[in-house]
Amino acid sequence: MLDRITNILVVGIGGQGVMTAAEMLARTALSQGYDVKKTEVAGMAQRGGVVSSHVRFGPRVYSPQIDAGEADLLIGFEAAEALRWLPYLRPTGVAMVNTLRIAPPVVSVGLYDYPLDPIGELAATGIEVHAFDAGAIAEQLGNLKLVNTIMLGAISDYLPFPAEVLRESIVEGFRAYKPKLADVNAQAFDAGREAGHVKAVSRQTAA
């Protein structure tokens, strides 16, 4: 569907592949004929600080910034970060969340209290939440760096273009630059796609 703008917010902690995931989404959307805008903020990203990236694509996009209440998809690589960015998700949006819990530096310096149950708080709002342990899936596949591909697989059926398009874009990228990792990333994408469906908290359940 080229007739509307899709807003995707990707958030997490430095080193998790947040920016890489956002870049892959942007490149894939561009390949499908969309106008694409992307912006990102990295606070001490290399030290485990918080990272966020806004990806917007549609027939014509003038600003990369997603306003509060306008995100169609919230991709949380870390549970508390997903909760912190919840106000940016529209009521009919979808939150896809890795259950990993990492307290960023803003917690240790007293600027932010880490929530006791971030996934529970997300579900309690009544939004559609899909939560699963992406790290455990990556570990099963033998490479913890696969988390970003797993998260992209998880949201692939919620995009305005076929999941296979994103999958092929990721796999072909690895075939070109790191061919030994192509097959395992294909597996990671498929595993994430499955997890994004079966590990869900629906609006009805949350209510």
**Number of helical H runs and strand E runs in the chain:** 9, 7
The pLDDT tens digits for 47-84 are 557 889 999 999 999 999 999 999 999 999 999 999 99
In-domain check, residue 1:
no
| 101-110 contacts at long range (C-beta below 8 A, 24 or more positions apart) | 102/13, 102/48, 102/78, 104/13, 104/48, 104/49, 104/50, 104/78, 104/80, 105/44, 105/47, 105/48, 105/49, 106/49, 106/50
Q: Please report, for the domain that includes residue 177, its CATH number.
A: 3.40.920.10
Between CA 124 and CA 112 the distance in angstroms is: 21
Structurally, how many domains does the chain consist of? Answer: 1
Does residue 202 register a pLDDT over 50? no
Residues 201, 126 contacting (CB under 8 angstroms): no
CA distances from 137 to 5, 51, 97, 173, 195 (A): 32, 22, 14, 21, 9
Examine residue 161 and state whether it is found in any structural domain, yes or no. Answer: yes
For the entire predicted model, the pTM comes to: 0.88
Residue type (1 letter), 175: R
Task: Say yes or no to pLDDT of 192 above 50.
Answer: yes
- Tell me if 147 is assigned to some domain: yes
